[in-house]
Amino acid sequence: MSDKHALEILTVDCLGDICPLPLMKFKEMKKALQEGREIMLVTDHSCAAENVLDYCRSLHYQFEVVEPISGVWEIYVRKAP
């Protein structure tokens, strides 16, 4: 999902964080999406990943989920054009 023309990818490290902290951290960073940036949230809790994805769906954000290693998810989010 990453675009070479994106201004910047902001990383939200939520490794070890339990719900609802990852969603709260994401909400704090979401204003960056308005500026054309992409957010990558990293989590090792499946419920946290689902909460963030549900929130992104409700706002019609584009996202891609990658599981680089078993049990760790990288969620790339950007605002739909």
Neighbour-count burial of 53, counting CB atoms closer than 10 A to its CB (0-12 exposed, 13-18 middle, 19+ buried): middle
Give the chain's length: 81
Give the architecture-level CATH label for domain 9-78.
Answer: 2-Layer Sandwich (3.30)
Under the banding of pLDDT at 50, 70 and 90, the label for residue 19 is: very high
Note the pLDDT tens digit of each residue in 27-55: 999 888 887 889 999 999 999 999 999 99
Taking residues 56-71, report their average pLDDT: 96
Q: What are the residue boundaries of the structural domains of the chain, listed by start?
A: 9-78
For residue 6, what pLDDT is reported?
Answer: 46
Residue 2: pLDDT band with limits 50, 70, 90? very low
Query: Edge-to-edge strand order for the sheet containing 62-69?
Result: 9-14, 38-43, 72-78, 62-69
Q: pTM, whole model, 2 decimals?
A: 0.86
